[in-house]
Amino acid sequence: QSALTQPASVSGSPGQSITISCTGTSSDVGGYNYVSWYQQHPGKAPKLMIYVVSNRPSGVSNRFSGSKSGNTASLTISGLQAEDEADYYCSSYTSSSTVVFGGGTKLTVL
Amino acid sequence: EVQLVESGGGLVQPGGSLRLSCAASGFIFSSYWMHWVRQAPGKGLVWVSRISSDGSSTTYADSVKGRFTISRDNAKNTLYLQMNSLRAEDTAVYYCVRIYCTNGDCYNEGFHYWGQGTLVTVSS
């Protein structure tokens, strides 16, 4: 199972919005609404930000939103803040009943 | 408060074995599917394995199938990962993960609670 494709890095200024893409195939992202997004700060465990494409766990800011079109899922962060600077990973359920992650995207807040 | 505490990591030679443990507390362990996810130093997250709440169903990534075995002891609130025939590429921090549940619904692919991780280093 190949990793989902994410851009290696994105950047934005405080207050701006950014979008991170996550591209898979019809056997994972395109075939199921089981896409999640995680935020990971250096030296810390990942934090669940989005589940089943567009749902936020309790306690996650509504500045974070998710969507999906075809084989590509997206995470949008609006009103960018300094504390959003982190690595972001997408994941998806697959037709093999496994889970596959994306390679990760480093978000830099300028 | 949900807590997941991994242990058992360390340095092992190629071809060796190691058993990781994850002690769970703060929730009804026997009600939740559990997963192992790993992260090589400076690299991304990689899903390893999962086990159903009663231990009857297990799934593995192709990269560890036949070498790793996930299991659980619900009486001891503990998750395990037996790792055999270890390779250099298995070197990583291994996280124990609990799925997300809300309003009576659980999402097997939403990894909500993570342990602090335990480092496994495979090297001669």
pLDDT, tens digit, for every residue of A10-55? 999 999 999 999 999 999 999 999 999 999 999 999 999 999 999 9
Chain B CB within 8 Å of residue A3 CB: yes
Judge: B109–A99 Cβ closer than 8 Å, yes or no. yes
C-alpha distance from B108 to closest chain A C-alpha (Å) = 9
Q: Are strands A99-101 and B92-102 parallel, antiparallel or unpaired?
A: unpaired
Chain B CB within 8 Å of residue A105 CB: no
Residue B80 has a pLDDT of 98
Of A84, A96, A92, A95, the residue nearest A5 (C-alpha): A92
Chain A CB within 8 Å of residue B27 CB: no
Cβ atoms B74, A10 nearer than 8 A? no
Interface test with B, best of A98, A100, A105, A106 (most B CBs within 10 A): A98
How many Å apart are CA B61 and CA B75, to the nearest integer?
A: 27
Cβ atoms B24, B4 nearer than 8 A? yes
Q: What is the pLDDT of residues A50-109, one digit of tens each?
A: 999 999 999 999 999 999 999 999 999 999 999 999 999 999 999 999 999 999 999 999
